[in-house]
Each structure stands twice: as structure tokens, then as C-alpha cells.
Amino acid sequence: MALKILTVDDSKTIRMIVKKAFRPYDCEMLEGENGIEGLAISTKEKPDLIVLDITMPVMSGTEMLEKLKSEPSLKDIPVIMLTAESGKDNVMNIVKMGVTDYMVKPFKGEQLIERVEKIVKLEPKKEKEVDEDTSKKYFSLDDGIQFLAFPAKITRPISVEIDGHLKKKIEEMKSSEVKKFILDLRKVSETNVSLIKLVLLIIQKCEKEAISIRLVGSPDVGKELKSFQETSEIPIDFSIDEAKANF
């Protein structure tokens, strides 16, 4: 069963860095922006480890830690405190609070993992589990056609995720002689560089394998794609039925 790791920091940047550090491991990441959110999540989820920033608005890490320690069901959860202050007095105060360990910012993800591994046993993530968990979010096969449905917004992590599955899906299409691919952009609400790059990549990969591809999207998305030089010539259908008819 995946370890639950809770990161509590008002900085989205730090939360991203912490989540990224745990990515290779079999962990479920939880996050909170301040001590109040952190306490609520801790109570509900009973994480196996908390990475807790000290200086936060609404409720500080110090206050959150005090409340954790006063709650019988939460007091034994190990806590690694994050601090931007390396001074002797600050470190002494942190240690007195009863934290399991502390990290001074700046830090690299690997340094955090080194500390964590002294507290909990981290298991590497199994690749197959990742594939099974996430490809179905986007890919489906229906009526002899491979569908890929984009979410509302393509971020870099989503782009990496989809690209990670794409090779395998195309191999599966080749082995089962599926020659049609529909890229469904109907849920897309925002076009950005990541989306454009991913669309072009998918088209390239399909063309390389002689797979026919149609794009389906709203008129607004069609207009957005036309405004980018790289995608201005790509035809877009406005419904799945239209795309099927146009193969």
C-alpha cells in the first residue's frame, strides 16, 4: 500500500519540489497551504509522514505541530520541518518542538529523500502500475478507433504522462491493426504551448505509422489552433460522427 506523504507549505513552488522528489516512489502525495488545511488533511488521511513549513499565513507550522502533538491519533506521525533559517537558536527551537527531523531551505529533492529514508521505507514505483493507473484517463478504444481525449488544460506533467503512454498505444494499434485515431479536444478550455507541442507530436507519430488521425474540437479550439503557425493547416472536425465520416 502506497505511503501517504503530506506536504504543508504556503509556497506552491516548494510543494511542487517536494512532490517531484517523491515521484519515483510508491507514494500518495497530499498537500496543504497552511496549518489549518494541514491539520484537516492529517485528521482525515492519517499520513505516514508530514513535510511541514514553519512560516505560513493563517496557521504557522509551529502552531500546527503543537496541535498535532496534542492529538492522540496524530501525535506519532513523523514530521520533517522545513525552515529558511539555519541559525543555532532556530534549530534548537525546532528540535525542542519534537520534530523527527528538519531541513533548511534551500535544499535539493535528493537531500529531502535521504532524510525521509531514515524515517520511513520508500518503495520504488512500479512502472506497470503507473501505466494501468493513468492511461485509461485519456485513452479508449471504441468501434475500431483509438481515442485520445485531452483534459481542459494541458500542463507539462500531463503532456509528459500522455507522451509516456503514446508509444505503447501505437504499438497496440499496430498489433491489432487499428488504423484510425481520433484526438478529442472537446474538453479543452485553454490552448497553450504544451498543447500545441503535444498535438504536433501525436500527429507526427501517427503519420510515421501510417495511422489516419482526425482532430475533434469546438469552433473556438479550431480558431485557436489556426492562430498558431504550426497547427494552422490542420483540419478540425466538430463532432465524433463528423470525424468518423471524414476518415
Partner 1 sequence: MSGINDLDLKDFVTKTMTDVFDTMLSMKIEQIDGGAEGIDDGSQIVGSVGFAGKVMGNVNILVTSDFARLMTAEMLGMETEEIESEEEVFDVIGELCNMVGGDIKSRLCDSGFTCELSIPSVTRGNDLKIESMGWDRYECFGFKYQENTALVQVYIKTAE
Q: For residue 95, state whether it binds partner 1 (rule: CB under 8 A).
A: no
Interface pick for partner 1 out of 11, 62, 134, 218 (rule CB under 8 A): 11
Task: Compute how many residues bind partner 1; rule: CB under 8 A.
Answer: 28
107 near partner 1, judged by CB under 8 A: yes
> Which one of 12-20, 65-73, 131-139, 229-237 is the stretch in contact with partner 1 (CB under 8 A)?
12-20
Does residue 194 bind partner 1 (CB under 8 A)?
yes
Residue of 134, 185, 136 lying closest to 161 (CA atoms): 134
Which of 44, 72, 76, 89: binder of partner 1 (CB under 8 A)? 89
Taking the least distance from each CB to partner 1, the nearer of 20 and 136 is 20
151 binds partner 1 (CB under 8 A): no
- Our CB check for partner 1 shows the closer of 87 and 144 to be 87
Binding status of residue 110 toward partner 1 by CB under 8 A: no
Regarding 86 and contact with partner 1 (CB under 8 A), the answer is yes
156 binds partner 1 (CB under 8 A): yes
**CA dist., res. 86 & res. 8, Å (int):** 19
Minimum Å gap between C-beta 12 and partner 1 is 5
DSSP 103-123: EESS--HHHHHHHHTTTSPPP
Q: Is residue 45 part of the contact set for partner 1 (CB under 8 A)? A: no
- Reported as half-sphere exposure (CB side, CA atoms, 13 A), residue 115 has a value of 21
Q: Which positions lie near partner 1, rule CB under 8 A? A: 10-14, 16-17, 20, 55, 57, 83-90, 105-108, 153, 155-156, 192-194
